[in-house]
A and B are shown apart, each in its own frame.
Chain A
Amino acid sequence: MKNRNGFSLIELIIVLAIMGVLMGFASVGINMLTSQSAKVVSRDVYNMIGSAQTVAMSKGNSYFMLSCDSTGNRRACVLYQRTESDGSTTWVILQEQELSNNCDINLVIGGNSYDLYQTTTGSHLQGVIIPIDRSTGRFQSVYFYSGDDTAPLGSAAADNCTDIIIQQGSRVYDIALVAATGKYYYK
């Protein structure tokens, strides 16, 4: 305890420099981690469209749905309208994927942009349902989600969804949907 010199200035500076470098790495890492969620969400959405198309072309009556409940939880689903033996139909969710809340999802329907949380008019957009043609795999004009999984089709938008834009900060993933061919791709 007799050594009472304490730290020299140089030692302090070195310690601070090391800490600074470490902090820099950490912030870059955190940034990469958080902006990953937009990438993950876009990939989930992309893959789910593919699944919906595959189901549509093999079983028919298949729909791709992006929806958001009142607490803000969003999901991508493959919906299937099953015909029962008595002739009635039931809606089944064949595949479901929860989507992270860390990014914005915008839908372009007939040239208008809709936030999956709020529409431009401030009302709640509960989601969108894209019917897929059985024989051609084409995307048909969309329905809004009614909020009820047992009867999901809400009002018809009478327009096609042309883009699904997933954004987080400067990262933007734009999945373009070509209604005429059923092609979907990253723009």
Chain B
Amino acid sequence: MDKIKNEKGMTLVEVLIAVVITSIVLTTLFSFLNVITRQYTKNNREVSVQNEVQTLMMQLENFIIDAEIDVATVTYNAADDEPTGIRLYILNDESFNVIGFSSDDRCLYYYEYSDQADNHASDDYKNASTRNAKLAAAQVDDDGEVEKNTDLQRYLFAENISVFSPEIHISETENYVSLVLELNNEGEVYRSAKNIFLRNQIVQPTATPSPGASVTPTPTPTPVI
């Protein structure tokens, strides 16, 4: 009964102290929580970047490894009427795959040659000069959109690519494509490099490739064989 009669309650100072202590404890707790969630999202992004690069590498390897007739690269620079960057041409008996890196939007594109009537095994494609004329005819216009009257249809392959550098080593003694791929997603960087050894012996190249050389695609682009 005596206890109940003490009706003084808490003083303002006591309440304030209690509030301050509670807030300090809560702030520490939440800052811990914040650190944990940030680390979690960082790890998540790291894993997804690695996963993306590895999947992409497998897809590209699949495109390249079965090359039958020719593998070639063409570099487009700002002066060309094309998205700047390097383009990799893989020519097979029955398909024609083009993988292009655009440094303007850091995206990798897959170009589908949509002229179904065209026979890729035809002599037009096996002969370098007539093939180049066909490649020149199938180009993307300068805003990156594929025009309807060309034969190339463009599809997004990958985003946030910082490095795409295929180097072609095809000679009497070597038969592989060395590919470096780097993805940079908001500072999360993952790089993968691979030598892709071709299953088929590519036709002996007529010209020696000059690494990093820019080739003007018009009027006839000269893909380095």
Contacts and interface: CB of A to CB of B under 8 A. Distances in A.
Interface of A: 50, 53-54, 57, 135-137, 178, 180-183, 185
B60 to A, nearest CB: 10
Given A50-B51, A54-B51, A178 B59 contact: no
Given A183-B158, A185-B159, A57 B58 contact: yes
A53 B157 CA distance: 14
Interface in B23-60: 48, 51, 55, 58-59
17 contacts: A50-B48, A50-B51, A53-B55, A54-B51, A57-B55, A137-B55, A137-B59, A178-B155, A178-B156, A180-B155, A181-B59, A181-B155, A183-B155, A183-B156, A183-B157, A185-B156, A185-B159
B110 interface: yes
The 10 closest A-B CB pairs, nearest first, are A180-B155, A181-B157, A181-B110, A135-B62, A178-B155, A181-B155, A137-B59, A183-B156, A178-B156, A136-B62
Nearest to A182: B59
Contacts of A178: 155-157
Given A50-B55, A136-B59, A181-B155, 12 more contacts: A57-B58, A137-B58, A178-B155, A178-B156, A180-B112, A180-B153, A181-B156, A181-B157, A181-B158, A182-B55, A183-B156, A185-B156
A35 B159 CA distance: 27
Interface residues of B, number: 15
B197 interface: no
A179 B55 CA distance: 15
- Most B C-beta atoms less than 10 A away, residue of A53, A182, A185: A182
Interface string B53-86: 0010011001100000000000000000000000
- Most A C-beta atoms less than 10 A away, residue of B51, B58, B59: B59
A36 to B, nearest CB: 14
A54 B158 CA distance: 16
A53 B55 CA distance: 8
Contacts of B159: 185
Nearest to B60: A136
Contacts of A181: 59, 110, 155-158
Nearest to B109: A181
Contacts of A180: 110, 112, 153, 155
B63 A136 contact: yes
A54 B55 contact: yes
Nearest to A176: B156
A186 B110 CA distance: 18
A175 to B, nearest CB: 13
B48 to A, nearest CB: 8
Nearest to A53: B55
Interface in B103-120: 110, 112
A25 to B, nearest CB: 16
B128 to A, nearest CB: 27
Nearest to A50: B51
Contacts of B51: 50, 54
A2 to B, nearest CB: 16
